[in-house]
Amino acid sequence: MDWKSRLVFWSGAISVGLVAILLAVACEQANGLFHKLLEISPYLPLLFMPLGLVLIVVATGRFFPGSQGSGIPQTIASLDPKGNSRIREQVLSLRVAIGKTILTILGLFFGASVGREGPTVQIGASIMHSLGSLARFPKHDLEKGLILAGGAAGVAAAFNTPLAGIVFAIEEMSRSFEEHNSSTILMTVIIAGITSLALLGNYSYFGHTSESLAFGSEWFVVAICGISGGLLGGAFSRALIEVNKGLSGRIGELMRAEPVAFAAVCGLILALIGLASGNTTYGSGYSEAKSLLDGTAALPESYGLLKMTATAVSYISGIPGGVMAPTLSAGAGFGANIAHFFTSVPAGPTIILGMVAYFAGVTQAPITAFVIVMEMTANHEMVLPLMAAAFIAKLCSRLICPSPLYHTMAKSFIQKSAHHQSNS
């Protein structure tokens, strides 16, 4: 790279870090405003959640096509070697990045069970991909290395987990990672991470936990969390994949023919789930998961199941938003359920194991799962149990969902794009 290319590259990496921070702050503010509305009346969501989801779906289709969904499948689709520039321009433009940012914030303002981490991946990839028009990067770097780097930096900056960002790029986003891209990804993650560190300080997403699990007698809970988290995560992923393929019957017809009306129905269902949960299933689930880890939670026993359902409904409604943070929160709820049955094991480690197992079950990316939870809790005492639970969960998840969620969604997106292109 010449000096001009390096300058543009560094500016892009810093921009990813800054945008990730701004999105995080804006999402927290939006979530706070939603909870202030709940203080007026817990029944208000029955009115404004359907209206809010309708607004988001209409804005997505009319002004920001390509911004719907979590953002990770779309980014993976853009890396497909058989893909074309049309897919990349469809999902990685700055217009899509702006839309993704605005609509994700709106989703949290209206109480949807979505996270900002998946959108941050697409936004980061869009920023780095757009550098191609400003500097003469090699074609190989532009089409793959920069996109991978932007996505990895998005995860790293969103969770403040630099190692997880790198692992995510290798394990989840690229099944054919090449050494040629390694320096690009590492440098981008480092610069984005430094930007986040400089502005927000050295923090852990869920704070610091010193929980540990005695080797031997207490390890049976690792297998229990791994099996249950894997099966539940596989069921969640399978449900989303089947819906994405297209449901049969009247529900499927409503989704295809009346997406706006379907979004309104989803909004009403989310409000009803919120009421049933005591207002705990709205938003990303960050505060609920943290309260479980801190031992200060006052959540219903059904929290994990209700959070999983709310996240599925939010995703299939067609609004932009990720599933990472809600998945971690639901996993914490499942871990808390398991802890109630096995009181001989400390609750803290069981909750952490529940998080990593369900996350690994949903994504079928076990290395990313245990690294991201380890970094988010600043807990290195639980590395081996987390690794074991994550790999058990992946094996169990594949019994129900043979193909990984994000890559199956990406393939579907590529096929639909090719079909649309052939018909146009």
Which of these, 136, 127, 111, lies nearest to 6 by C-alpha position? 136
Q: What is the pTM of this model?
A: 0.90
> Can you count the helices (H) and strands (E) in the chain?
20, 0
**pLDDT value at residue 177:** 43
Domains of the chain: 3-200 (1.10.3080.10), 220-413 (1.10.3080.10)
Question: Which residues are within 8 A (CB) of 237 and not within 5 positions of it... i.e. 6 or more apart?
Answer: 361, 362, 363, 364, 397, 400, 401, 404, 405
217 — phi, psi (to 5°)? -65, -30
Which neighbouring-strand residues pair with 322?
A: 115
d(CA 104, CA 22): 12
Evaluate the CA torsion angle 382, 204, 342, 344 in order and state its sign: positive
Whole-Å CA distances, 188 to 15, 139, 198, 283, 350: 10, 18, 15, 29, 34
d(CA 236, CA 201): 35
Strands (E), 90-234: none
d(CA 23, CA 170): 24
Q: Which helix (H) or strand (E) holds 418?
A: helix 405-423
**pLDDT value at residue 144:** 72
Q: Kindly list the averaged pLDDT for each block of 10 residues, start to end, along the chain of length 424.
A: 69 84 92 95 95 96 88 86 70 90 96 93 87 65 71 76 75 57 60 63 54 67 95 97 80 82 95 96 93 86 97 94 94 95 87 96 92 79 86 96 92 77 58
d(CA 304, CA 32): 22
Which of these, 311, 359, 313, lies nearest to 335 by C-alpha position? 359
Which of these, 355, 289, 353, lies nearest to 113 by C-alpha position? 289
- Structure token digits, residue 90: 């469809």
The CA-based dihedral angle spanning residues 68, 72, 76, 77, taken in that order and rounded to the nearest 10 degrees: -10
Phi-psi region of 149 (alpha: psi -120 to 50; beta: other; left: phi over 0): alpha
Alpha helices in 201-285 (DSSP H): 220-245, 249-257, 259-276
The CA-based dihedral angle spanning residues 224, 225, 227, 233, taken in that order and rounded to the nearest 10 degrees: 160
